[in-house]
Structure 1
Amino acid sequence: ERAAVDPASRAMARPSTAPAAPSASASPSATASPKATAKPKPKKTVRQIVPVAGLDRTQMNNAKKIVQAGKEMGMPRRALVIAVATAMQESTLLNYASGVLPESQNYPHQAIGWDHDSVGLFQQRPSSGWGTVEQLMDPEYATKAFLSALAEIPGWQSLPLSVAAQAVQISAFPDAYAQHEWRAGEVVAEILG
Structure 2
Amino acid sequence: MGNVKHAFTSAKADGGDASLVRPSNWNAAHTGAVEILDRDLTQIDVANEAAETSVYSFSIPANALGVDGGFRLTLSGDMLKNAAGAMEIRVKLGATTVFLSDSSAPTSSANRHKWTLVILCLNSVAAAQKWNASMKMVANVQNLSVQVIGSGFNATLMEGYSSSAEDTTGALTLEVTIDWSVADASLSFRKEMALLELIPAA
| The two structures share one fold, judged by TM-score above 0.5 | no
Under a length normalisation based on structure 1, what TM-score does the superposition of the two structures give?
A: 0.20
More strand by share: 2
